[in-house]
Structure 1
Amino acid sequence: MKRTVVLLFALLALLVPGIAVTAPATAAPLACTAPDWVQGQFYAAGSIVRFQGAYYIAEHDNPGYSPTVSTWYWDPYTNCDGGNPPACNYPDWVSGQWYPAGSIVRFQGAYYVAEHDNPGYSPTVSTWYWDPYTCGGGNPPNPGGFPVSESVFNAMFPNRNGFYTYAGLINAISAYPAFAATGDDTMRKREAAAFLANVNHETGGLVYIKEINEANYPNYCHWEQPYGCPAGQSAYYGRGPMQLSHNYNYKAAGDALGLPLLTNPWLVEQDSAVSWKTALWFWNTQTGAGTMTAHHAMVNNHGFGQTIRTINGSIECNGGNPAQVQARVTAYQNFTSRLGVTPGDNLYC
């Protein structure tokens, strides 16, 4: 989103009839003093907040939705000294419009470059055709600053299913920008290694997209939920890097990501970026069987063991299945070694 300060004030005047708003005499960028975003607090259209080091403006009234997840409600705000990178001037994406390779568009508050010619496919769904684009100098060699390069990722998962693309992972990280981007270089690399080690265990090295044991499929529908199982009794089996399962998890993840996962859970096995996003949703927002999110565990030095507890602690921790715990720890030690950092303390649960 690109607005001059004058246009912003004009917008506010339209949104609040009867209130006179005087634009500043200069259009120079302002030093932002906007308050930190607060989850659950009501924000009227035009509100400006600070979130994870960047600034956002509410495009629509909302009850405290996340600025980086609920991008229909928020846009990046770029009129701040020291705020976001230089603004892009690229047009909004249009469904059905032809885009040759190299085209750059704005979609849901972010920018994307066409990697392949396409007839207007969605930048966040058709991730083979589009890659995230960083304004001001183009994309860095390692998109988004993720501390695992594509070549290292490929070496970590030599037998991975082609569905689990590196581009899909990088696309998904935009929904949770604090992931593997918090703290110093060691902390960032440890979190990336911890996430990928658990993903490795859940999917057999990024080989399996969905749960193997089909006999379990009907067990993940909980009709007692008020929304039931609109996709069918057997539709909510484990899928994706974290094997998202149960209708209530599909509902919660879909609501958080703005995706119809309750009615169309198959998206998690059909779109790489969506699949990765569900894994990052769990990693960054859910406490699972533990007492903290896996992200919190890694950025607050609670150790890799707490990520195991969050993901499958009720079965594996406290001596429940030491072989499974060891497999996760071994993968984590391997991945941290590849990234050139020590694994830290508290590896077991």
Structure 2
Amino acid sequence: MAPKPFPRRVISLSLLAAALSIAASASVAEARWYSPPSPVSAIVSEQLYASLFPHKDDAACPARGFYTYASFARATARFPRFGATGCPHTRKRQGAALPAQLSHHPTGGWATAPDGPYAWGLCYKEEITPASNYCDATDKQWPCYPGKSYHGRGPIQISWNFNYGPAGQALGFDGLRNPEVVANCSDTAFQTALWFWMTPRESKPSCHQAMVGEYRPGPADIAANRTAGFGLVTNIVNGGLECNRTGDARVSNRIGFYRRDCQALGVDVGPNLDCEHQLPF
């Protein structure tokens, strides 16, 4: 007698399709919520970030609750070369330089402040009493929108229509028609700071290039004594007002934040801290 054949397992095509659909949906959901870690997280951890900005969420700070580490990490992940360029010392110096510049602009500290003047970074989201609406009406590429102000907002205090326009174009928001988003969305605020940090503009190198050894001075830069280092970063950020002058308090404040941050990261500050003898761009 021939053996009986094993019964065939019949799988419903509809059940199989449903199972595949569920698996695909789970994969999409996982991809949507998963965010790859930023290279800078190995340098500026959440704990270190909290120690660099210990009073940012105090009741006295208008930006309390705004500048979260999660937003900072997401912004740096969007610019993956930040924190991932150069040797470990170079990466740490850049990891110190950005928080130092971010601390200076929206700081709420003063000489006798609790925990010292360098413990109150990221206290403000925007200028309290802007000197103007920061509209350069001569710029036809990035024209000002009626009724809008392009005063300093966010951790780098991005200003002027010729910065809001290209920043918005690069990051996916209308910087000319809706500049307020920089002070209303923490992710956008940090992204504008990283965009400014990483993007060379016309005759200026990027702050990133100045800190990681990618800056190549031309004849005009050499004549202007624009040498790489933290001082050149200050020149890029606000050289027209702070550089080529003796003992500027704003420059000293930036350096104070940078020294503190380098100490926290366990790295020396490197050369050329100030821009006292540099001509502005």
Q: TM-score, normalised by structure 1?
A: 0.58
Distance in 2 separating the partners of 1:198 and 1:218: 23
| Match in the other structure for 1:250 | 164
Alignment of structure 1 residues 1-349 onto 2, 5 Å: 90-91=27-28, 104-106=30-32, 112-113=33-34, 132=35, 134=36, 143-146=38-41, 147-160=43-56, 161-204=64-107, 205-214=121-130, 216-220=131-135, 222=137, 224-225=139-140, 228-230=143-145, 232-287=146-201, 291-300=204-213, 302-319=228-245, 322-349=248-275
Higher relative CO (CA 8 A, sep ≥ 6), structure 1 or 2?
2
Distance in 2 separating the partners of 1:196 and 1:150: 13
Other structure's SS at 1:269 match: helix
Higher helix share: 2
Compare CA radii of gyration and give the structure with the larger one.
2
> Residue 291 and residue 229 in structure 1: after superposition, are their counterparts in 2 closer, same or farther (change >3 A)?
closer
Give the deviation of 1:223 after TM superposition.
Answer: 6.5
Give the deviation of 1:222 after TM superposition.
Answer: 2.5
Distance in 2 separating the partners of 1:321 and 1:249: 28
Other structure's SS at 1:190 match: helix
CA contact (8 A) 1:325 1:348 kept: yes
> Residue 151 and residue 244 in structure 1: after superposition, are their counterparts in 2 closer, same or farther (change >3 A)?
same
Other structure's SS at 1:90 match: helix
Give the deviation of 1:104 after TM superposition.
Answer: 2.3
Distance in 1 separating the partners of 2:166 and 2:249: 31
Distance in 1 separating the partners of 2:80 and 2:142: 30
Give the deviation of 1:176 after TM superposition.
Answer: 1.1
Other structure's SS at 1:174 match: helix
CA contact (8 A) 1:156 1:335 kept: yes
**Stretches of structure 2 lacking an aligned partner (at least 5 in a row):** 1-25, 57-63, 108-120, 215-227, 276-281
- Deviation digits for residues 62-98 of structure 1 (CA, Å, limit 9, x no counterpart): xxxxxxxxxxxxxxxxxxxxxxxxxxx821xxxxxxx
- Aligned partner of 1:254: which letter? G
Distance in 2 separating the partners of 1:330 and 1:268: 27
**Stretches of structure 1 lacking an aligned partner (at least 5 in a row):** 1-88, 92-102, 107-111, 114-131
Distance in 1 separating the partners of 2:183 and 2:174: 14
- Deviation digits for residues 169-194 of structure 1 (CA, Å, limit 9, x no counterpart): 11111221101210111111100110
Higher strand share: 1
| Alpha-carbon RMSD | 2.1
Distance in 2 separating the partners of 1:171 and 1:275: 11
Percent identity between the aligned chains? 38
- Deviation digits for residues 267-300 of structure 1 (CA, Å, limit 9, x no counterpart): 1111111100101111110348x74211001001
Distance in 2 separating the partners of 1:287 and 1:193: 22
Give the deviation of 1:158 after TM superposition.
Answer: 1.1
CA contact (8 A) 1:315 1:321 kept: no
- Deviation digits for residues 199-241 of structure 1 (CA, Å, limit 9, x no counterpart): 1011101011011214x243435265255333x3342211001
Distance in 1 separating the partners of 2:86 and 2:141: 41
Give the deviation of 1:252 after TM superposition.
Answer: 0.6
